[in-house]
Structure 1
Amino acid sequence: MSGPVLENYIDGAFVASGATETLELVNPVDESVLARSPISTGADVDAAMRAAERAFASWGRTTPSVRQKALLRLADAVEAHSAEIVAAQCRNTGQPAAVVAAEEVAVGADQLRFFAGAARLLEGRAAGEYLEGFTSYVRREPIGVVAQVTPWNYPFMMAIWKIGPALAAGNTIVLKPSDTTPESTLVLAGISKGILPDGVLNVVLGDANTGAELVRHPTPGLVSITGSVRAGIAVAGSAAQQLKRAHLELGGKAPAIVFPDADLEKAALGIAQAAFFNGGQDCTAATRLLVHESIHDEFVAAVAKCAEQLRPGLPDDPDSFYGPLNNRGHFDAVLGKLAALPAHVTVVTGGKRLGDKGFFVEPTIVTGVRQHDALVQEETFGPVLTVQPFTDAEHAIALANDVRYALASSIWTGNHAIAEKFTRALDFGAVWVNCHIPLVAEMPHGGFKYSGYGKDLSAYSVEEYTRIKHVMSAHD
């Protein structure tokens, strides 16, 4: 193996892991080996937890204004180090550099500023005499040390979504980034030096076994993961053994439902972009197009035309819409699903690998799928959009809700009554109307059913990282 060995960030310093095993970090653009990452051991995790525990003794008692100032300074530092963050992330993901700069770094700085404000706006019931002779009030307190695990699809942004609310609430952190995309998170940790007290933010590298060490460790009071359903179930089960709280943001299988009265040109472009942004490696991606039978053929043709213009490319190519899939295992899995399509499915566009180097896949649209096909029911997490016709509103709602995921959805119509009906009936944590995929810091993100529980973003996510204490004082 070749390349430098990355280091953990513990107690305000980069330190070598005690691990004897390492992982190769592979550039998904050209499949070259970039570096090696340690599979951190239980001893590494324990060192990070002890550092976080020591830091909580003071950080947990800071005032909201102190935490606000730190988060604002961190946001400024993120912007100042944008080029470094983008370069680090593009090495690991192959994403278009302009997209990382605009959609993760700039947006991440804005989200940190939101959490800086949210630090000073925690809410609880008013103090009062709910029992004669006694006054009661509520304290909302930080949990303590929290363990966090982030995925590889948006490494930097997901790190911000984790640390922002946790720090705003006064917690300290041990975070494990994905084993394939750790570098932008390490840059974030490095620029936090001198802004956050030592030990407040710790980053431990490794694989699923290292993540399991985080969850099993007795110190954290909450474990938060963004990842697959399989990983979420494992984390929830392990956390339950010690009655730890879990925060799970898992997969999605989002429908985009199109009625004939929609602005079809706008809908075709919007759905194509929502399906293929980041190569479809997005849990909120539009993965299932449900279109009224009366416009099925013409609308599929319109979406396919848009899709063919959203081509993948290299990080420095200003015309590329998305980059490669993240890693060899995922790339092979997506191509395997496309190679095993049932006979009743028609590939309208795409369906193949692009080029002979790197993990690039064409934007793909398939029709003729049936509701119980694996391609409809299971998350592909790639640039694949399935299409199904529907006859009326009730049929569309039944098709949309008949999956185990419940994260995101969209309805496209010019009829206000239809839109209102669907915002109530769709069983998903987010419902977009005449758009699909925009997110804002002020609104919560999270799903139901197999998409997990708990909210990212918004003041609700800060509440996730707090505990509530009732205080009652006798008057006499």
Structure 2
Amino acid sequence: MSNELLQNYIDGRFVPSSGTESMDVVDPTDEKVVARSPISTADDIDSAVAAAERAFASWSKTTPKVRQAALLKFADALEAHSAEIVDAQSRNTGQPKAVIAAEEVTVGADQLRFFAGAARMLEGKSAGEYMEGFTSYVRREPVGVIGQVTPWNYPLMMAIWKIGPALAAGNTVVLKPSDTTPESTLVLAKITKNILPDGVLNIVLGDGGTGAALVSHPKVSMVSITGSVRAGIAVAVAAAQQLKRAHLELGGKAPAIVFGDVDIASAAQGIAEASFFNGGQDCTAVTRVLVHEDIHDELVGALVKAADGLKPGMPDDPDAFYGPLNNIRHFTAVSEKVAAVGEHATVVTGGHRVGESGFFYAPTVITGVRQTDDIVQEETFGPVVTVQTFSDESEAIDLANDVKYALASSVWTKDHGVVQRVTAALDFGAVWVNCHIPLVAEMPHGGFKYSGYGKDLSAYGVEDYTRIKHVMSSNS
């Protein structure tokens, strides 16, 4: 067991928590303790928020040029410290190191560079005389101190999605990472020491209670969370009690609608990769395949073949497509959800643990499910995909939309008319066509319904961290 007690990052330096309680940080590949994380107290939150508030007084008045330069240096530092960040994160998540390096460090640096550019592109209405004798214009201003909570599935990427736009808009940040995956976020903070002014970025470690204290702090002007629906609702309620803004990126139950004219092998491979990437611990992952009844059997066969080729493995295994589930609670929950499918359903591949230690779970395909089954309606967040049939376009749309989540979806067909009709009818924040899961910094990411509200990435994501002020002056 490691005796290392991690520390908070407040006002530009690492400091111990004022509390006495701590949690074990466990490597999910072998179930060994790799560090201890403090359960930070209300006093720690007070210190971090006070530091952010002091820093806001000057950071909010910097020019977009200055904020851009800082974020560009941040991106360079991220790439320069790639190996350190990858090692830290893989200890907590078990993800393949090559995946962390490519999909979170390299992509994260690109996203920071986008946010750096977006800092200089915020727009509002032009000044004008909308009433005779008066001139009006709009100021787009930073909101203030932002309280942010990130999840364990992509610790680095989710931190960047929150920190980048908030800082680009001139805000300061207090961020609490997941209690099971804190280490890469601490490295992220460390590399900003000589880039960001003290207090602009603060990291406070802890559990759900720590997060609740951050969200409800009276000096926090806006809260942002990526997490479960349950956590998102709690954050929204707490924010509403103080009439502060909330930005929620929550769960998903993404359908892939497969029409009868597709290249079956190609579609199955693409869907399998989008289902099992990161062990299905992705709110945009394909979790429901809706396939035209004429090609059901052939697609299932191809999907099983593709799934069986996407194996979980250790962080240094070059053949591993994904790593373990993140923790014992989640591993147990996924296992129980699969075990609870009714007798009418068939687990055609997977549905079991892989190996004797660690939280590895086999890629799993389940057929014969019903629309009302929990495995169809509720988020599994593991390497599990269900298959249902439809007879026509209308039924496909009805089945796809008949869940409470509305984050991501995809349509697989060669028919342009079908694409236009179905993408318009799908009630999801993102719709891919003949692909599923690619993201770019320039396009918004966020959902509807129980998937939350607000946008990550894109100029819309930066705008979410601003407020709009109307200024009107008399011309006399």
TM-score, reference length from structure 1: 1.00
Moved over 2 A (4+): none
Question: What is residue 199 of structure 1 aligned with on the other side?
Answer: 199
How far apart are the structure 2 equivalents of 1:33 and 1:262? 47
The CA deviation string for residues 194-224 of structure 1, in whole angstroms up to 9 with x for no partner, is 1000000000000100000001110111000
SS at match of 2:355: coil
Q: What is residue 383 of structure 1 aligned with on the other side?
A: 383
- Distance (Å, rounded) in 1 between the aligned partners of 2:206 and 2:181: 11
List runs of 5+ in structure 1 lacking aligned partners: none
Whether the 8 Å contact between 2:264 and 2:298 is mirrored in structure 1 is no
Deviations 1:369-415 (A, max 9, x none): 00000000000000000000000000000000000000000000000
Does residue 444 (structure 1) correspond to residue 441 (structure 2)? The answer is: no
Counterparts of residues 58-207 of structure 1 (less than 5 Å):
58-207=58-207
1:10-68 alpha-carbon deviations (Å, 9 max, x no partner): 00000000111101000000000011100000000000000000000100000000000
Aligned match of 1:353: 353
**Residue 34 of structure 1 pairs with residue 34 of structure 2:** yes
Question: How many residues in Structure 1 have an aligned counterpart in Structure 2?
Answer: 476
Distance 1:445 1:221 in 2: 23
Residue 286 of structure 2 is matched in structure 1 by 286
SS in 2 for 1:274: helix
Counterpart Cα distance in 1 of 2:347 and 2:73: 50
* CA RMSD of superposed structures (Å): 0.6
Equivalent residues in 2 for 1:234-253, closer than 5 Å: 234-253=234-253
Look up the equivalent residue of 1:308 and give its one-letter code: D
8 Å CA contact retained: 2:260, 2:292: yes
Match of 1:209 in 2: 209
Structure 1: distance between partners of 2:123 and 2:355: 54
CA displacement at 1:170 relative to structure 2: 0.2
User: What amino acid is aligned across from residue 351 of structure 2 in structure 1?
Assistant: G
Deviation at 1:263, TM superposition (A): 2.2
Q: Counterpart of 2:47 in structure 1: which amino acid?
A: A
CA distance in 2, matches of 1:224, 1:203: 14
Measure, in 1, the Cα distance between the counterparts of 2:231 and 2:385.
24
Give the match for residue 308 of structure 1: 308
Instruction: Determine whether 1:394 maps to 2:398.
Output: no
Deviates more, 1:421-430 or 1:336-345: 336-345
Tell me, what secondary structure is at the counterpart of 1:369? coil
Contact 1:3 1:33 in 2 (8 A): no
> Equivalent residue for 2:258?
258
Shift of 1:260: 1.1
User: After superposition, where does 1:38-49 map in structure 2 within 5 Å?
Assistant: 38-49=38-49
Contact 1:271 1:436 in 2 (8 A): yes
Given that residues 341 and 373 in structure 2 are in contact (C-alpha distance below 8 angstroms), is that contact kept between their aligned partners in structure 1? no
The answer (yes or no) to whether the contact 2:7–2:17 under 8 Å persists in 1 is yes
Cα shift readout 1:265-300 (whole Å, capped 9, x = no counterpart): 221100000000000000000000000000000100
Which moved further from structure 2: 61-70 or 337-346?
337-346
Contact between 1:55 and 1:200, CA under 8 Å: does it hold in 2? yes
CA contact (8 A) 1:252 1:379 kept: yes
Provide Cα deviations, 1:60-84, integer angstroms capped at 9, x if missing partner: 0000000000000000000000000
Q: 8 Å contact 2:292–2:390 — kept in the other structure?
A: yes
Q: Is this contact kept in 1: 2:89–2:155, CA < 8 A?
A: yes
Q: Secondary structure at the match of 2:112?
A: helix
Structure 1 CA distance, aligned partners of 2:260 and 2:468? 49
Tell me how far 1:338 sits from its aligned partner: 1.5
Distance 1:301 1:3 in 2: 49
Q: Which residue of 2 aligns with 1:295?
A: 295
Inter-partner Cα distance in structure 1 for 2:384 and 2:123:
42
One-letter amino acid of the counterpart of residue 142, structure 2? P
Residues 78 and 191 of structure 1 are in contact (CA less than 8 Å); yes or no, is this contact kept in structure 2? Answer: yes
Give a deviation string over 1:97-153, Cα, whole Å, max 9, x none.
Answer: 000000000000000000000000001111100000000000000001000000000
Separation in structure 2 between the aligned mates of residue 222 and residue 461 of structure 1, nearest angstrom: 14
Distance between the aligned counterparts of 1:33 and 1:336, measured in 2? Answer: 25
Give the TM-score, by structure 2 length: 1.00
CA deviation after TM superposition for structure 1 residue 2, in Å: 4.5
- Distance in 2 between residues matched to 1:23 and 1:393, nearest whole Å: 50
The Cα shift of 1:262 comes to 1.5
Residue identity (%):
74
CA distance in 2, matches of 1:263, 1:460: 35
Q: Provide the rounded CA distance (Å) in 2 between the counterparts of 1:141 and 1:30.
A: 47
2:433 maps to amino acid: V
Point out where structure 2 has 5 or more consecutive residues left out of the alignment. Answer: none
Residue type of the alignment partner of 2:280? G
CA distance in 2, matches of 1:426, 1:336: 30
**Contact between 2:114 and 2:442, CA under 8 Å: does it hold in 1?**
yes
